């Protein structure tokens, strides 16, 4: 694409680096900001700069935070004996927004992936074991993606925790609520039959 | 949605103001920038700030520009006697990217819209007439949207230019190239029959 100004072009190129943003959307964003007051654009860039430069990570669970401990770990109202293990902050936010989990989290910062050269040492697994070592945890819920990396990571952590007297569970998988059987992929459908549950054990 | 940090939340809210960006995409952008080097985020915000604060508008055609005259007006290689009238910079960029127009432009900065309180005086129509007054223009091409505002604006400008010995043309409208008749809206199809052209007059 040809642009009439280098300033516009630079801004478009920067926007187009964002995930899922093409040159056309980038142009739309740039022309939108061009029409806004300079103060509003300042607010936009300041919010991004502050987010990047001032953000902290919770020293307990690695969640993003405004201070040393995130508000989930800091507030005492959550169940302290249950830790939900997630790959990243996006997954944490997704679970948090269901408003159906009242325990703590542990963000791994990735999944074990030999192909990408990511081993257990590059993830926050050791700090998870340390938290369990403190003796207050009774259940670890693995909430990782249902793929090879997720399964490998779950398996690795489960092995590490085998000697502790705690429950290690995993989020349930199967046909989505509201999902129609005929449109569910074969793998999910097959597993949902294999891993069927007694009717009276289900929470709706 | 619940977010674990005010810094994250502020940045998400700013991104979500952009056209077509919801909270979920905004979160994706923010977490992407969070993972990037501080210098790259700095580059992103600087490009936007510079674009907003240093951009100029061509004093001849109102196109965005890095200096007083845009590179289309400044470079002498374009046909100086043909002016294509567009609503905004986005439309100019769209036509420019076809690489099939070699004249100059005139950006109106909007369309006449009594409902929105936009009259001819708020648009760069007077400066268009001034350019025609200079005597070097032989054709004005109206490239405005095919709606009431576009038609009103075209009609108003055409009236203004009636006393000049120049051609006033409009971009052709009809069934899109590659477009199938059955999926073309009735209005377009009806007009394309009414405004049919001799086969040998068409440039392909």
Contact by Cβ (8 Å): B102, B85: no
Domains and CATH numbers, chain A: 6-54 (1.10.8.420), 77-171 (3.40.1360.10), 173-204 (no CATH)
Residue of B nearest to A14 (CA): B44
Measure the CA–CA gap between A199 and B196, rounded to whole angstroms: 68
Contacts of B61 in chain A (CB under 8 A): none
Q: Which of B27, B49, B54 sits opposite A45 (nearest CB)?
A: B49
Better-predicted residue by pLDDT, A202 or B32: B32
Average pLDDT, chain B: 91
pLDDT in tens, B9-45: 999 999 999 999 999 999 999 999 999 999 999 999 9
Contact by Cβ (8 Å): B28, A20: yes
Give me the DSSP letters along A6-74.
HHHHHHHHHHTTSTT--HHHHHHHHHHHHHS-HHHHHHHHHHHHHHHHH-EE-TTT--EESSSS-HHHH
Contacts of A43 in chain B (CB under 8 A): 14
Contact by Cβ (8 Å): B11, A51: yes
Asked if the C-beta of A63 comes within 8 angstroms of chain B's C-beta atoms, the answer is: yes
Q: Do A47 and B13 touch (CB under 8 A)?
A: yes
Asked if the C-beta of A44 comes within 8 angstroms of chain B's C-beta atoms, the answer is: yes
Q: Which of A7, A48, A88 sits opposite B54 (nearest CB)?
A: A7
Dihedral of alpha carbons B59, B63, B66, B69, sign? negative
- Give the DSSP H/E element, type plus range, for residue B64: strand B64-65
Check whether A204 has a pLDDT greater than 70: no
Contacts of A13 in chain B (CB under 8 A): 47
pTM: 0.79
Q: Do B8 and A55 touch (CB under 8 A)?
A: yes
Chain B interface, mutation test: which of A27, A37, A39, A45, most B Cβ atoms within 10 Å? A45
Who's near B165: CB < 8 A, 6+ residues apart?
none
The pLDDT, as a whole number, for residue A197 is 78
Asked if the C-beta of A30 comes within 8 angstroms of chain B's C-beta atoms, the answer is: yes
Average pLDDT over residues B114-138: 94
pLDDT in tens, A56-114: 999 999 999 999 999 999 988 999 999 999 999 999 999 998 888 999 999 999 999 99
């Amino acid at each position: 694409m040809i642009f009439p100004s280098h300033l516009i072009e630079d801004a478009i190129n920067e926007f187009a680096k964002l995930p899922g943003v093409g040159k056309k959307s980038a142009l739309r964003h740039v022309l939108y900001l061009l029409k806004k007051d300079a103060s509003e654009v300042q607010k936009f860039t300041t919010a991004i700069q502050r987010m990047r430069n001032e953000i902290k990570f919770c020293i307990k669970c690695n969640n993003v935070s405004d201070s040393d401990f995130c508000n989930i770990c800091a507030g005492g109202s959550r169940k302290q004996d249950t830790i939900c293990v997630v790959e990243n902050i996006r997954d944490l936010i997704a679970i948090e927004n269901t408003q159906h989990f009242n325990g703590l989290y542990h963000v791994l910062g990735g999944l074990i992936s030999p192909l990408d050269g990511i081993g257990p040492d590059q993830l926050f697994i050791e700090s998870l074991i340390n938290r369990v070592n403190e003796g207050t945890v009774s259940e670890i819920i693995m909430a990782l993606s249902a793929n090879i990396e997720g399964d490998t990571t779950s398996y690795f952590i489960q092995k590490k925790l085998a000697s502790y007297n705690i429950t290690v569970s995993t989020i349930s998988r199967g046909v989505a609520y509201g999902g129609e059987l005929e449109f569910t992929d074969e793998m999910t459908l097959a597993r949902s039959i294999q891993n069927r549950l007694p009717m009276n054990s289900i929470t709706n």
